[in-house]
């Protein structure tokens, strides 16, 4: 018996990375997973892989930043299933843009539109499908919504907004039996990290990963499944009294105030070797 038997779960940004890992885990726990993404080629691969392993998954093209796309998707789900039990607002983008006076307005608008507005739109139009029976909404925030990054103010603003938007929804819908929480990942080994910092094969990508190994108390980057397991906890009855929370999953980075001796002491760095 799975933790999500007979549940209908929607996961946005489900083609790769955290979304893909969560699709696979939710399906293995008995959910029918409605997988939504703009990357339809990779999305289809994810869905086919789940189906080949006996899971239930369907692919839907969705641009979370578009109100028309969100409405169309919600209507399709309503027509076919009439309800959903879980919504994981996971779709998001990130890109450096420079300091604020240099930051391109179009980049700021695009990140806010996908990350924050997308979370709002999908919640707005899919929430009615939860109102009768209750359910769980999970949003992807970030440790970058709790503290700031150099040259990434748009992403910081979007993820900080998601963190508080989560709390607002948790209050709004608690009496409807709908729990709303967010997950704040640290640096996770995903295609987005490959794009932002370089792959494991690139010189810059290798340097980035080495730096993260010693600045992260657990000594490594996270894996997508390590976020998926937290999403499963929040989606299932295991978290029946948890709402309005932002759960940090970052290997310990947000546990310290400044890197201090980690910058100086060779012994600390060598513990990851």
Residue 201 CA to residue 211 CA, distance in Å, equals 15
Q: Could you identify the residue written with the tokens 């996908």?
A: 114
In this structure, what is the dihedral angle of CA atoms 12, 15, 17, 20, given to the nearest 10 degrees? 80
Closest CA relative to residue 159, chosen from 222, 73, 248: 248
Between helix 17-28 and helix 224-235 the angle, nearest 10°, is: 50
For the chain, the first-to-last Cα distance in angstroms comes to: 41
Angle at 254 between CA 253 and CA 257, to 5 degrees: 100
Burial 85-116 (b: 16+ CB within 10 A, else e): bbbbbbbbbbeebeeeeebeeebbebbbbbbb
* Strands of the chain, DSSP E: 8-12, 32-37, 56-61, 86-89, 135-140, 178-185, 246-249
Are 127 and 170 a contacting pair, CB within 8 Å? no
Q: Which residues are catalytic?
A: 155
């Amino acid at each position: 018996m799975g933790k999500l038997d007979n549940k209908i779960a929607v996961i946005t940004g489900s083609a790769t990375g955290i979304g893909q890992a969560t699709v696979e885990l939710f399906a293995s726990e008995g959910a029918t997973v409605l997988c939504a993404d703009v990357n339809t080629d990779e999305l289809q691969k994810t869905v086919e892989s789940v189906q080949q392993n006996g899971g239930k998954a369907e692919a839907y093209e969705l641009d979370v930043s578009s109100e028309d796309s969100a409405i169309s998707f919600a209507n399709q789900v309503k027509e076919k299933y009439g309800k959903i039990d879980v919504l994981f607002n996971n779709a998001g983008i990130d890109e450096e843009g420079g300091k604020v006076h240099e930051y391109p307005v179009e980049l700021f608008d695009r990140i806010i539109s996908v990350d924050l507005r997308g979370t709002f739109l999908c919640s707005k139009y899919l929430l009615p499908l939860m109102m009768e029976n209750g359910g769980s909404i999970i949003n992807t925030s970030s440790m970058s919504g709790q503290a700031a990054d150099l040259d990434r103010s748009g992403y910081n603003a979007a993820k900080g907004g998601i963190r508080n938007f989560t709390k607002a929804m948790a209050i709004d819908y608690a009496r409807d039996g709908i729990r709303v929480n967010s997950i704040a990942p640290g640096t996770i080994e995903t295609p987005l990290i490959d794009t932002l910092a370089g792959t494991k094969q690139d010189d810059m990508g290798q340097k980035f990963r080495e730096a993260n190994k010693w600045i992260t108390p657990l000594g490594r980057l996270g894996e997508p499944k390590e976020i998926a397991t937290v999403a499963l906890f929040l989606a299932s009855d295991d978290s029946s009294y948890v709402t309005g929370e932002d759960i940090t999953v970052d290997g310990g980075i947000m546990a310290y105030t400044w890197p201090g001796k980690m910058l100086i002491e060779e012994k600390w760095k060598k513990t990851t070797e």
